[in-house]
């Protein structure tokens, strides 16, 4: 089969190499899954489907926080701690702004310099320039590929702005929100909704002059979490302080993750959430594909333009216009 990246590798080669934990082939497979060429994507899907029995054995951790909160520095310290425990870790980043500011991904690379040289760590920024839905899709596939390659902890980093954290929440077991002490939650653009998605919060940069502010924020946010109604997981979100520079709060974070996994595995939530997330992946993809199909047909595009004009002129009800488009699409 002809394809851009894997032309030297057959499906069986990919399967063998990934199963043996070959990181270079793993990176190629992720590129294949991100490819815009149909033949690449078909090969990637065959590959991931064949590897499915080898997937699912990791702990998937999402990490979010506003730009500059210290995500990359924290992940470097956290990652180094995990590899010191001989854990194989993969770090995937989703940055919806990366298409515009490529610098942030380059910045991340240099900030995780130590980790990027660590043979137990695999770091992969998401492909820039894709729609968020697309990025989320590819990240899910990348998670599965990393698991098949034997990575035990998968960390998904995303910038805490826009919809990306909602997308990440739908693909991880444990969701960690990083927050600055003393900046005020409004200042950090953190909405209650994001806090409700979090299983834990880490107050970053708790060192030097910041310690007092960080401790105050820690108790304030812990109190705020207590006011939320009990979540489906029956897990009480915990807030801790950390200094990635001084390597404090790092092993505590890992302990929290392990406690959460134990708690949710014993009450059945861990598996239930994963099943639910697979269904969400299925349903979200149906929606995306339909929208994609709608926007590629010239005939439909023309009709959409016409109906939009009528909506502006208030001569048609928007909901009726939408139904007309869908009916047209289904009968064409
Ligand atoms: N004092 C102190 N500074 C820190 C700590 N962690 C990160 N910083 C600094 O905060 C700045 C931002 O850190 P990053 O790790 O790049 O933050 P980020 O959230 O990844 O930023 P974006 O990728 O731009 O969203 C850098 O100048 C870091 O040196 C910490 O534990 N203590
Ligand atoms: Mg960063």
**Nearest Cα to Cα of residue 21 among 138, 125, 145:** 145
Measured by CA distance, the residue closest to atom 6 of ligand 1 is 70
Q: What is the DSSP string of 255-285?
A: HHHHHHHHHHHHTTHHHHHHHHHHHHHHHHH
- Please tell me the distance between residue 237's alpha carbon and the centre of ligand 2 in angstroms: 24
Task: Determine if residue 330 is left, alpha or beta; phi over 0 gives left, psi from -120 to 50 gives alpha, anything else beta.
Answer: alpha
> Residue 50: exposed, middle, or buried by beta-carbon count in 10 A (0-12, 13-18, 19+)?
middle
pLDDT at residue 201, rounded to an integer: 96
| Protein residue whose Cα sits closest to atom 2 of ligand 1 | 205
List the one residue out of 172, 156, 159, 121 whose CA is nearest residue 274: 172
Does this model's pTM top 0.85? My answer is yes
pLDDT averaged over 10-residue windows placed end to end, the chain, 332 residues = 60 96 96 90 95 97 91 95 98 69 46 88 75 74 97 90 82 95 62 86 95 92 89 94 96 98 98 97 90 85 94 96 91 81
Helix/strand/coil for 311: helix
Q: What is the pLDDT of residue 5?
A: 52
Model pLDDT, residue 229: 86
Q: DSSP per residue over 34-53, as a string?
A: H-SSHHHHHHHHHHHHHHGG
Q: Do 161 and 191 contact (CB within 8 A), yes or no?
A: no
| HSE-CB of 76 using CA atoms within 13 angstroms | 19
- Shortest-distance Cα residue to atom 25 of ligand 1: 67
pLDDT of residue 222: 92
Q: Name the closest ligand to CA 160.
A: 1
Phi, psi torsion values for 169, nearest 5 degrees: -55, -30
pLDDT of residue 23: 96
The Å distance, Cα 191 to ligand 1 centre, comes to 21
DSSP 68-79: TSSHHHHHHHHH
Report residues whose beta carbon is within 6 angstroms of any ligand 1 atom: 65, 67-73, 104, 108, 111, 159, 204-205, 207, 243-245
Q: How far apart are CA 323 and CA 329, in angstroms?
A: 10
Choose one of 66, 73, 125, 207 to mutate for the ligand 1 pocket test, by most ligand atoms within 8 angstroms of C-beta: 73
Work out which ligand 1 atom sits closest to the CA atom of 67.
25
From ligand 2's centre to the CA of 146, what distance in Å?
A: 21
DSSP assignment, residue 127? P
Residue nearest to atom 17 of ligand 1 (CA): 70
| Per-residue pLDDT at 156 | 94
pLDDT recorded at residue 66: 85
Cα(63) to centroid of ligand 1, in Å?
A: 14
Query: How many Å lie between the centroid of ligand 2 and the Cα of residue 77?
Result: 13
Q: How far is the CA of 70 from the centre of ligand 2 (A)?
A: 7
Give CA 33 to chain center in angstroms.
16
Task: Tell me the CA end-to-end span of the chain in Å, nearest whole number.
Answer: 33
């Amino acid at each position: 089969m002809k394809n851009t990246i894997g032309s030297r590798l057959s499906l069986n080669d990919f399967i063998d190499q990934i199963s043996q934990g070959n990181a270079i082939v793993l990176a190629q497979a992720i590129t294949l899954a991100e490819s815009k060429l149909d033949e690449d994507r078909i090969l990637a899907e065959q590959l991931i489907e064949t590897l499915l029995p080898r997937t699912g054995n990791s702990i998937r951790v999402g990490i979010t926080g506003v730009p500059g909160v210290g995500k990359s520095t924290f992940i470097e310290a956290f990652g180094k701690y995990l590899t010191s425990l001989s854990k194989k870790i993969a770090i995937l980043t989703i940055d919806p702004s990366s298409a515009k500011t490529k610098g942030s991904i380059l910045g991340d690379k240099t900030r995780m310099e130590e980790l990027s040289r660590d043979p137990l760590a695999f770091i992969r920024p998401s492909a820039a320039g894709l729609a968020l839905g697309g990025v989320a899709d590819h990240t899910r596939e990348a998670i599965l590929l990393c698991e098949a390659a034997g990575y035990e902890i998968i960390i998904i980093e995303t910038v805490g702005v826009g919809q990306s954290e909602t997308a990440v929440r739908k693909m991880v077991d444990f969701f960690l929100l990083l927050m600055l002490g003393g900046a005020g939650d409004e200042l950090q653009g953190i909405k209650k909704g994001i806090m409700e998605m979090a299983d834990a919060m880490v107050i970053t940069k708790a060192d030097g002059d910041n310690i007092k502010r960080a401790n105050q924020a820690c108790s304030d946010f812990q109190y705020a979490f207590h006011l939320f109604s009990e979540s489906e997981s029956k897990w009480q979100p915990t807030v801790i302080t950390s200094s990635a520079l001084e390597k404090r709060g790092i092993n505590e974070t890992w302990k929290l993750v392990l406690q959460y996994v134990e708690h949710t595995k014993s009450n059945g939530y861990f598996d239930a959430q994963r099943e639910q997330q697979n269904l969400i992946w299925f349903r979200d993809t149906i929606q995306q594909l339909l929208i994609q199909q709608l926007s590629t047909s010239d005939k439909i595009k023309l009709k959409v333009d016409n109906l939009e004009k009528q909506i502006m002129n208030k001569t048609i009800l928007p909901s009726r216009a939408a139904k007309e488009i869908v009916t047209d699409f289904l009968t064409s």
